[in-house]
Amino acid sequence: MATPTPLPPRTQVPRHVAIIMDGNGRWARRRGWNRVRGHRAGIDSVRAVVREARAAGVRYLTLFAFSSENWGRPQREIAALMGLLRRFLRVEVPDLKRNGVRVRAIGELRRLPPRALEAVRWAEDETREGRDLDLILALSYGGRDEILHAVRSALAEGVRPEELDEARFRGFLYAPDVPDPDLLIRTSGEMRISNFLLWQLAYTELYVTPTLWPEFREAQFREALADYARRERRFGLTSEQLAGGGGG
């Protein structure tokens, strides 16, 4: 058996990992099953990745669980996804709480069905003391929606154009205290951002794997972390500047 990829040293672990969990439908279809079965298997991957992220020392994990575009899916699939979300929270919250995980949600949450919204608020409330890992669920989330929401909030507060810089703008995002993702993982091979965290991903490292989400488990997550640990982040600077060698 292959030796499992070790976890990188803490100093090389991304503080914030964001994930586009894609490929549930294809995974199920390939087996001749309906798409919902793929989402159900995807929950086991969520559980595995949360556990591994916490063990690795990741501080923020943002999962794209339901996009603003997903409202266009068949009603039956939407209902199933909302049901899975509620069940996931009901079953996992006690464990998450025990393990120092704080559940948070970002997105146009008012659009969620009342029982799903209630479950999300309950989970946030139950876990608000969690200090080890923030598990941020993007629900009814769109990056353009978030930017518009921020602009509207700034206008409503009477912010003057000359006062609006990046730092001030950030204060109007859904989760202003959360640092930008260091690493974005996308499963199932698509080379797209798909309206996820548009403002926050400006300098994020991208990791795209052909693995479908239901097959993305501990080992695959470790591999993504190891890949990230091998990269050099430059934020638009030269390697010499980053090495502290001066230059200009």
* Catalytic residue list: 22, 70
Shortest reach from residue 158's CB to ligand FPP, in Å: 37
Six-digit token pair at 59?
């501080």
Nearer to ligand FPP, 63 or 154 (CB): 63
- For helices 35-56 and 75-98, angle between their N-to-C axes, nearest 10 degrees: 20
- Residue 21 binding ligand FPP, by CB under 6 A: yes
Sole window of 39-47, 101-109, 152-160, 172-180 interacting with ligand FPP (rule: CB under 6 A): 39-47
Give how far Cα 82 sits from Cα of 39, 61, 77, Å: 11, 20, 9
Pick one of 18, 36, 63, 93: the residue that binds ligand FPP (CB under 6 A).
63
Interface of this chain with ligand FPP, residues 116 to 155, rule: CB under 6 A: 137
- Residue 26 binding ligand FPP, by CB under 6 A: yes
- Residue 25 binding ligand FPP, by CB under 6 A: yes
Largest CA distance in the chain: 62
Could you tell me if 30 and 214 are in contact, meaning their C-beta atoms sit under 8 angstroms apart? no
Interface of this chain with ligand FPP, residues 163 to 192, rule: CB under 6 A: 188
- Residue 22 binding ligand FPP, by CB under 6 A: yes
Rounded Cα gap, residues 36 and 79, in angstroms: 10
Task: List strand residue ranges (DSSP E) for 101-225, in order.
Answer: 101-106, 133-141, 183-186, 205-208
Binding positions for ligand FPP, rule: CB under 6 A: 21-26, 35, 39, 42-43, 46, 63, 65, 70, 81, 84-85, 88, 137, 188, 213
